[in-house]
Amino acid sequence: MNKDSNTPAITKHAWTRMCKRGLNWQTVDTVLSYGRVIHVRGAAIHAIGRKEVEKLARSGVDVGGCEGVQVVCTPNGSDILTVYRNRDFRGLKPRGSRRWH
């Protein structure tokens, strides 16, 4: 985390991905503040989906432009690893430790 705030540090890779994908820091900060956190595959993923947009709209908070944005952080939340937009949250479900074929 940055010394001056509780904001996670952003890696060079995450910054590059943000720029290439047209996502700005305000969007990432909004997702970190209002999004749900899913701990899966060794990372903490902050995401805003349709449910969060609807719930926050009832509270008077407009996060519609952030729908589908996912911010992948280290498990302790100290660094942002990458940022992307994906409205399909099925990949965020924890997988069982054992698979049967």
Taking only the tens place, the pLDDT of each residue in 66-77 is 999 999 999 988
Average pLDDT over residues 10-20: 93
pLDDT at 99: 59
The structure's pTM equals: 0.82
Cβ neighbours, 10 Å, residue 56: 18
* Long-range Cβ pairs for the range 24-27 (8 Å, 24+): 27/65, 27/66, 27/69
Distance CA 26, CA 38 (A): 21
pLDDT at 98: 61
Taking only the tens place, the pLDDT of each residue in 18-40 is 999 999 999 999 999 999 999 98
Cβ neighbours, 10 Å, residue 26: 10
Distance CA 79, CA 82 (A): 9
